[in-house]
Amino acid sequence: TPEPYTRTQFCRWPCQCPRSPPRCALGVSLVTDGCDCCKTCARQRGESCTEADTCDFHRGLYCDYSGDRPRYEIGVCAQIVGVGCVLNGVRYKNGETFQPNCKYNCTCINGAVGCVPMCTNSRPPLVWCPNPKLIKMAGKCCEQWVCDDSRKIRKTSPRHISSAAYEGEDEAWQKNCIVHTSPWSPCSKTCGLGISTRISNDNDQCRLLKESRLCNMRPCEVDITQHIKPGKKCLAVYRANEPMNYTISGCVSKIPYRPKYCGVCTDNRCCTPYKSKTIEVRFQCPDGTEFSWKIMWINACFCNLNCRNPNDIFADLAHYYDYSEIAN
């Protein structure tokens, strides 16, 4: 008598899945495996399949076990007979993958055409870019985002060249000196009083000097999450109800202020200022002396995924993922 055949067990319980799901190739579906356990990349046409490794049903595929008689354990992903497609006068078979142009990869699925965009890496410039443009690059299929800074000051111009050479542009001249002032650096602290710096040659000697100002992104002692509206995940700007006085080493500002602060998010986004100015605040000390300090005054903030260390020198090379993430 033949020995009884033991069917191979492809599923194992309890489920043991990797911490993060796999990254599938473009156009390949991420599905739950046949064991109803883990996310996996679906098997494609002609690939082997089992009770655990399922075929891509989004492409109209099923596991054909007919070639594995009598065990019926390992099959091959085959196409369910269906209706073909017609696109721009060209006929495609059901399940056939094609590229009508360089920007899209498409699949015929039972009479319907589904397409995946190929141009997915182009991201808009930083939010402070005044004139972002999507332009066609020579030799490339996908358009690229660029920042049209034609109206900005040409900071690399030689000092001896006349401004007439750049007709139509606004050059800042001062005693044969092209004035250059860098943006303020991020605040050194995410909450409480910190320092922000910049480099500028806007002085009589046209010398690059470091300037400093105080900054306060948000108060450390206030739980801003309590002020987020129901149904929202972020509060872009927080403002205290009552005016307050700035304090430095026991010296108090002569007048009270009611500043705006950047808020917080309950998801992975962080809120940073994108509109601010510098104000001069006069302080009075207990011994009667007075002094002035420049302080950052926040006008508006946005919440985004570009969260980073304030001292990250490569931060300005980053791009935001999408304009939609700025929404509160």
Task: Specify if 60 maps to a domain.
Answer: yes
Task: Specify if 73 maps to a domain.
Answer: yes
Beta-bridge partners for 303: 271
Q: How far is CA 128 from CA 99, 136, 273, 302, 323, in A?
A: 36, 22, 11, 12, 12
> Dihedral angle at the C-alpha atoms of 166, 168, 171, 177, nearest 10 degrees?
30
Task: Specify if 94 maps to a domain.
Answer: yes
Task: Specify if 143 maps to a domain.
Answer: yes
Q: Which three-class secondary structure state does DSSP give residue 262?
A: strand
> Where a domain ends, among 79, 109, 139?
79
> Angle at CA 259, nearest 5°, toward 257 and 261?
155
Q: Is the Cβ–Cβ distance between 177 and 207 less than 8 Å?
A: no
Its pTM stands at: 0.44
Q: How many domains does the chain have?
A: 4
**Which pair of structure tokens corresponds to residue 203?**
């002085």
CATH number at residue 109: 2.10.70
Q: Which pLDDT tens digits describe the chain residue by residue (328 residues)?
A: 556 667 788 888 888 898 888 999 887 889 999 998 999 999 998 999 999 999 998 887 889 888 888 788 899 998 877 778 888 888 888 778 888 888 888 888 777 787 878 877 666 665 556 667 778 878 888 887 777 655 444 444 333 333 333 333 334 555 566 677 888 888 888 888 889 888 888 877 777 788 889 999 898 888 988 888 888 888 889 988 889 898 888 899 999 999 999 999 888 888 888 888 999 999 999 888 888 899 999 998 888 876 665 444 444 444 443 433 333 3
Same domain for 198 and 293, yes or no, is yes
Task: Specify if 175 maps to a domain.
Answer: no
Same domain for 56 and 102, yes or no, is no
Same domain for 53 and 131, yes or no, is no
Q: How far is CA 207 from CA 72, 122, 182, 202, in A?
A: 81, 39, 13, 8
Same domain for 196 and 300, yes or no, is yes
Q: What is the C-alpha to C-alpha distance for residues 97 and 244, in angstroms, rounded to an integer?
A: 65
Same domain for 300 and 203, yes or no, is yes
Structural domain of residue 98, as residue ranges?
A: 85-117
Q: What is the C-alpha to C-alpha distance for residues 292 and 249, in angstroms, rounded to an integer?
A: 13
Same domain for 220 and 145, yes or no, is no
